[in-house]
Amino acid sequence: MKYLSEYRNFEATKKYLEEIHKIASKDWNIMEICGGQTHSLVRNGILELLPEHVRMIHGPGCPVCVTPLNLIDKAIELLENNVIVCSFGDMIRVPGSKKSLLEAKANGGDLRILYSPIEAVSIAKENPDKEVVFFAVGFETTAPANALSVLHAEKEGITNYSILASHVLVPPAMEAILDDEFCTINAFLGAGHVCAIMGIQEYYPLVEKYRIPIVVTGFEPLDLVQGIYMAVKQLEEGRCTLENQYARVVKQDGNKAAKDVINKVFEVGDREWRGIGEIPHSGYVIREAYKKYDAEAKFEISNIKVPENSKCIAGEILRGIKKPHQCDQFGKACTPSNPLGAPMVSSEGACAAYFHFTDNLITS
Amino acid sequence: MDATKLGFDTINLGHGSGGTMTRDLLDKIIFKTFNNPYLNQKHDGSIVKFDRPFAISTDSFVVSPIFFKGGNIGELAVNGTVNDVAMCGAIPKYLSLAFIVEEGLEINDFIRIVNSVKRAADTSGVIIITGDTKVVERGKGDKIFINTTGFGEVHPNANISANNIKVGDKIIVSGFIAQHGMAIMSQREGLEFESTIVSDTTNVNFLVSDLLDKFGSKIHLFRDPTRGGLASVLSEIATDIEKGVAIVENHIPLEKQVAAACEILGLDPMYVANEGVFIAIVAAEVADAVVETMRNHEKGENAVCIGEVTEEHPLKVVMKSLIGGKRIVSPLIGEQLPRIC
């Protein structure tokens, strides 16, 4: 746990902040991909320590925020039909079209909050007369554990377990953002944990195609200011390369064992992103060989389709076009206890980060 | 007490019926354990006399698991209410004790809890003067719930009120935060992880009384940051007094292992529950002496000043972060939930 002190060090962080102030001569918009990075930026008060013309734009990397509304309704439908639904904690407060998983639990649904999908397999084993579904959301980061739970269930011969999968991938989302006509982003901070699994190879083509700097970055304050410094330095020098600030965790080729597990259970397919829409080849779908572990194939829930709340601008927030406080509903009709959309309720959502940790006094 | 001589292994609905089984349970366990003149009258209630104004506080305890590292629900139910009474600037004297037991609770567990109640009551100098035991059907409770109400005489020097708080007052925390919440979390079903974190449940009434003896009305407010943690209590105070609260992140007393456990589980220690820790808001001129007095007491040896009351940013708690940035500390909304990644 050395990083708690080393990567939160005041002096080291200050040094990089001073360097950023020294070298940043123009307006730069830098998007941090991951919601964990957004929260760390806001929680540590980094945004106000940056030069005014180095602006951080918050990216789509909040798994809870991009999970489609209809998938939440599907999980609720299962919960209301005597299925034990297991989920990561973040998902349960996110509003579906009528209610959240937490409200469905209060109405009598058997909802279990877990840290690992493997626990859900154990629950299936202990409850052979019940169906158990794990709500498998997330980016490349959570895909290995979710895939492993399927392999684990197969090995143990457990047939009452399946996953409601909504896995999305970072590179196609970056591409969709860059292709947007309103895009103003000059550089990216890549999502460190995603790259820890996948490696960094797939980002070289993006750098080449869009001539944009990408710095794979960690989550601690020192990681972030160093990542921002590296991005600003590239921009000021007119360079665009792929750099790895998070080398203590991220290797060139990622984690082979984890990738093998993902590839065994999942294949790349089209995915819908909440607030953004369908992006081709942007997620994982369960391979044919493992269809019996696919909750959408197992239960009659695939017809559930619901529209988004028209007042919520989550799509613009997730694409970095607007900031949370630029939304008319922010802090008024939309608060963490009464959210209109997912970014206000997820622990990694940009709206929640702004609501909890900033106000006009600090951001002005 | 030897459970084998009781003639029953578990508590069942009959023990809450009000009949002979109830009497049996009370005689053999409750009255025998507490054995004081108030309870021995076996009346519907007790009559007590107070010479000074008195403070009352009530609390219900529903913790799961009921046994955890560093304590159990029994001592928690005593310490929690004793501390609440102390936070009013009062000296806790009497306690009511009501159990709601789910049928099927093992009698040995019940005895263990009752013994802990007795021990904690003796340690904090309070007498159990009235009580109740109900039994509910299986599935309608969670092993055991306890309600306690505490009564205490207000300390003659005390003038505890948020209205007394002034700009410049210092905010002192009596010890390491987040210990209780993380001890419970480390043993929750599905979250078990190896740690030596123990709950900080303890009574702080004698330390509070010492502080009032010494500093009297210079102490403006006591609060114990139980549920919702330090962040929620400070936010409430800022809202109540319509002034700002400024705190410094690297002054927050946080034990290393607790900090690490919070990191792993994605929880913010500022929102994690405490049981044996309190906040004192005191006049600036006595702040150093208050910290020193606390540090000389076993219940306050890690006391530290974490910030002050300000004219700026009224209604808000602003924390200076480790790296020199600033952030708002907002109250907890709902429950802290484990994160995806």
Tell me the pLDDT tens digit for each residue of A190-230. Answer: 999 999 999 999 999 999 999 999 999 999 999 999 999 99
Q: Give residue B284's domain range.
A: 162-328
Asked if the structure places residue A265 within a domain, the reply is yes
Q: Are residues B122 and B269 in the same domain?
A: no
Provide the 10 A C-beta neighbour count for residue B68: 22
A242 inside domain:
no
B210 and B133 together in one domain: no
Strand-pair partners of B144: B101
Sheet containing A54-61, strands listed edge to edge, beginning at the edge strand earlier in sequence: A54-61, A28-34, A187-191, A214-217, A242-244
Encode pLDDT of B268-303 as tens digits. 999 999 999 999 999 999 999 999 999 999 999 999
Give residues with Cβ within 8 angstroms of A87, minimum separation 6: A75, A101, A111, A112, A113, A114, A134, A135
Q: Is residue B334 part of a domain?
A: no
- For chain B, count helices (H), then strands (E): 10, 13
Model confidence at A363: pLDDT above 50: no
Single pTM value for the model:
0.88
Nearest Cα to Cα of residue A134 among A108, A159, A165, A110: A165
For A132-171, how does the pLDDT look when each residue is reduced to its tens digit (9 = 90+)?
Answer: 999 999 999 999 999 999 999 999 999 999 999 999 999 9
Q: Is residue B132 part of a domain?
A: yes
HEC secondary structure over B251-305: HCCCCHHHHHHHHHHCCCHHHCCCCCCCEEEECHHHHHHHHHHHHCCHHHCCCEE
Tell me B30's DSSP state. I
Residues B144 and B189 in one domain: no
Residues B33 and B127 occupy one common structural domain: yes
Q: How far apart are CA A215 and CA B205, in angstroms?
A: 54
Is A113–B260 a contact, with Cβ atoms under 8 angstroms apart?
no
Q: Are residues B92 and B131 in the same domain?
A: yes
Contact status of A356 with chain B (Cβ, < 8 Å): yes
B304 contacts: CB under 8 Å, gap ≥ 6: B172, B173, B251, B253, B291
In three state form, how does the secondary structure of B149-200 look? EEEEEECCCCCCCHHHCCCCCEEEECCCCCHHHHHHHCCCCCCCCCCCCCCC
Residue A343 above 60 pLDDT?
yes
- B180 and B120 in a single domain? The answer is no
Contact across the interface for A45 and B259, Cβ inside 8 Å: no
What's the rounded Cα separation, in Å, for the pair B251 and B324? 13
- Residues of chain B neighbouring A354 (CB-CB closer than 8 A): none
CB within 8 Å of chain B, chain A residues 198-237: 221-222, 225
pLDDT tops 90 at residue A249: yes
pLDDT at A358 exceeding the cut of 80: no
Tell me, yes or no, whether A163 lies in a domain.
yes
Confidence of residue A360 (pLDDT cuts 50, 70, 90): very low
What is the DSSP code string of A30-45? EEEEEHHHHHHHHHTT
Closest CA to A214 of A179, A189, A177: A189
- Whether residue B340 is contained in a domain is answered as no
CATH number of the domain within which B296 lies = 3.90.650.10
- A24 is a domain residue: no
| Closest CA in chain B for residue A86 | B190
Which helix or strand (DSSP H or E) is residue A249 part of? none
Element (H, E) at A275: none
Chain-chain contact of B324 with A14 (C-beta, under 8 angstroms): yes
Cβ of A155 under 8 Å from any chain B Cβ? Answer: no
Give the percent of chain A with pLDDT over 90.
71
**Residue A110 falls within a domain, yes or no?**
yes
SS3 call for B322: coil
Q: Are A259 and A84 in contact (CB under 8 A)?
A: no
Q: What is the pLDDT of residue A337?
A: 81
| Paired sense of beta strands B170-173 and B279-282, if any | antiparallel
Length in residues, chain A: 364
What is the pLDDT at residue A362? 42
The confidence score (pLDDT) of residue A194 equals 96
Residue B333 falls within a domain, yes or no? no
Whole-number pLDDT of residue B333: 77
Write the residue in A8, A112, A138 that is nearest to B323 by C-beta.
A8
Classify residue B277: in a domain, yes or no.
yes
Q: Is B339's Cβ below 8 Å from some Cβ in A? A: yes
Claim to verify: residue B318 and residue B190 sit in the same structural domain: yes
**B114 and B174, same domain (yes or no):** no
For β-strands B219-223 and B279-282, DSSP reports them as: antiparallel
The answer to whether residue A44 is domain-embedded is no
Averaged pLDDT for residues A293-307: 88
State which of B91, B123, B154 marks the end of a domain. B154
Contact B339 A362 (CB under 8 A): no
pLDDT tens by residue, chain B, 341 residues: 566 567 789 999 999 888 888 998 999 999 999 999 999 998 999 999 988 999 999 999 999 999 999 999 999 999 999 999 999 999 999 999 999 999 999 999 999 999 999 999 999 999 999 999 999 999 999 999 999 999 999 999 999 999 999 999 999 999 999 999 999 888 875 666 777 889 999 999 999 999 999 999 999 999 999 989 999 999 999 999 999 999 999 999 999 999 988 988 888 999 999 999 999 999 999 999 999 999 999 999 999 999 999 999 999 999 999 999 999 998 887 777 666 55
B168-to-A361, B244, B279, B291 alpha-carbon distances in Å: 20, 10, 16, 16
What is d(CA A211, CA A14) in angstroms, rounded to the nearest whole number?
30
Residue A89 falls inside a structural domain: yes
CA B305 to chain centre: 21
Domain end point (choices B103, B134, B154) = B154
Chain A residues 122-141 with CB within 8 Å of chain B: 137-139, 141
Q: Does B322 contact A141 at a Cβ distance shorter than 8 Å?
A: no
Chain B closest CA to A104's CA: distance in Å?
A: 16
Q: What DSSP assignment string belongs to A286-334? A: E-GGGGGGBHHHHSS-TT---PPPTT--HHHHHTTSS-GGGSTTBTTTB
Least reliable range by pLDDT among A47-56, A197-206, A352-361: A352-361
Q: What is the pLDDT of residue B190?
A: 61
Split into its structural domains, chain B has a count of: 2
Residues B166 and B59 grouped into a single domain: no
**Rounded Cα–Cα distance for residues B16 and B21 (Å):** 8
Same domain, B146 and B252: no
Same domain, B169 and B215: yes
Tell me if chain B has a CB within 8 Å of the CB of A146.
Answer: no
Q: Does A112 touch chain B (CB under 8 A)?
A: yes
DSSP assignments along A180-214, one per residue? STT----EEEEEHHHHHHH-SGGGHHHHHHHT--E
Contact A340, A312 (CB under 8 A): yes
The whole domain housing A288 covers: 65-169+256-298
Using a CB–CB cutoff of 8 Å, tell me whether A269 touches chain B. no
Q: What's chain B's Rg over C-alpha atoms?
A: 21
- The residue behind tokens 């340690």 is B123
If asked whether residues B172 and B319 sit together in one domain, one would say: yes
**Which pLDDT belongs to residue A364?**
34
Q: Name the strand (E) or helix (H) holding B19.
A: none
Task: Say if CB A359 and CB B244 are below 8 A apart.
Answer: no
Residue A345 half-sphere exposure toward CB, CA atoms < 13 A: 26
Mean pLDDT, residues A309-325 taken together: 86
CB A188 within 8 A of CB A215: yes
Last residue of a domain, one of B117, B137, B154: B154
pLDDT for A311: 87
Q: Give ipTM to 2 decimals.
A: 0.82
Domains held by chain A: number: 1
Whether B1 is in a domain gets the answer: no
pLDDT of residue B266: 81
**Which uninterrupted H or E stretch holds A256?**
helix A256-265
Q: Is residue A277 helix, strand or coil?
A: strand
Does B326 contact A at CB distance below 8 Å? yes
* Residues in chain A within 8 Å Cβ distance of B229: none
Write the CATH number for A126. Answer: 3.40.50.11740
Please, are residues B231 and B299 in contact by the beta-carbon 8 Å criterion? Answer: no
Would you state the pLDDT for residue B17?
A: 87
CB B308 within 8 A of CB B169: yes
Structure confidence at residue A56 (pLDDT): 95
Amino acid present at A317:
I
Q: Is residue A311 part of a domain?
A: no
